Chains A and B, each alone.
Chain A
Amino acid sequence: GQSLEQPSEVTAVEGAIVQINCTYQTSGFYGLSWYQQHDGGAPTFLSYNGLDGLEETGRFSSFLSRSDSYGYLLLQELQMKDSASYFCAVRSTYNFNKFYFGSGTKLNVKP
């Protein structure tokens, strides 16, 4: 089975850097994805790590370490619009099109 753990809530100030962690217990997966969801909105894809290491996309970066069963999403130069929930997700190798999502981290950005 798959289990992904995230902190429930994180608070940071505008302009700061915040890291949202995702630890997982899984029997096998292809890679780690991150999604953003604003209140009342649909989740939108942010990034994907198929291999260990850091992936950078503008202000957002994502990291994966399979040996540590750990990944994170790094948000730099925080803006008020970054206030949202962030979900990590994996696609299982046993049922390769079944996605498992973490419970989400609510990010509150304060002025």
Chain B
Amino acid sequence: GAGVSQSPSNKVTEKGKDVELRCDPISGHTALYWYRQSLGQGLEFLIYFQGNSAPDKSGLPSDRFSAERTGGSVSTLTIQRTQQEDSAVYLCASSLAPGTERQETQYFGPGTRLLVL
């Protein structure tokens, strides 16, 4: 079956521009996560959605970052006025809802590699 997909796979932008990253989770997965991974580093939690709502936005680095999810499916992560320190791989993951079997398993997309010049 189809896994988590993300687009674009690579994005090069100029400092100060806005970028929009997209995530298509596995069908039926109500939980969706965004992470950021800098080169050679671990995963930094950004935001989590349960359905269309985001009960935890505490990981967003600044107010330049925002995310939304519509129809309980596709999610977009928007970075406004990009800075060079925003350069990283942005990973999306989905999982079954809490309280369901195998809720601990997150399925990751291939990521979007963002380079801010």
Using a CB-CB cutoff of 8 Å, which residues 19-35 of chain A contact chain B?
A: 30-31, 33, 35
Q: Given A41-B110, A98-B45 in contact, is the A48-B50 Cβ separation under 8 Å?
A: no
Interface positions of B from 11 to 70, Cβ below 8 Å from A: 31, 33, 35, 41-43, 45, 48, 50, 55-56, 58-59
Number of chain A residues whose Cβ lies closer than 8 Å to a Cβ of chain B:
24
Among B4, B45, B91, B107, point to the contact of A45 (Cβ < 8 A).
B107
Q: Which residues of chain B are within 8 angstroms of A104 by Cβ–Cβ distance?
A: 41-42
CA distance A104 to B41 in the complex (A): 7
Question: Which of B33, B41, B107, B110 is A99 in contact with, Cβ under 8 Å?
Answer: B33
Query: With an 8 A cutoff between CB atoms, is A97 at the interface?
Result: yes
- The answer to whether the Cβ of B78 comes within 8 Å of any Cβ in the partner chain is no
Nearest chain B CB to A53's CB is how many angstroms away? 16
A20 to B42, CA, bound (A): 15
Closest-CB distance, A13 to chain B (whole angstroms): 23
- Contacts of A100 on B, CB cut-off 8 Å? 45
CB distance from A98 to the nearest CB of B (A): 6
Do residues B41 and A103 form an inter-chain contact, with CB atoms below 8 A? yes
Residues of B near any A CB (own CB < 8 A): 4, 31, 33, 35, 41-43, 45, 48, 50, 55-56, 58-59, 91, 93, 98, 104-111
Knowing that A48-B105, A97-B55, A99-B106 touch, tell me 20 more A-B residue pairs with CB under 8 angstroms.
Answer: A30-B104, A42-B108, A43-B91, A43-B106, A43-B108, A45-B107, A87-B42, A91-B104, A95-B55, A95-B56, A97-B31, A97-B48, A97-B50, A98-B45, A98-B56, A98-B59, A99-B45, A101-B45, A102-B42, A103-B41
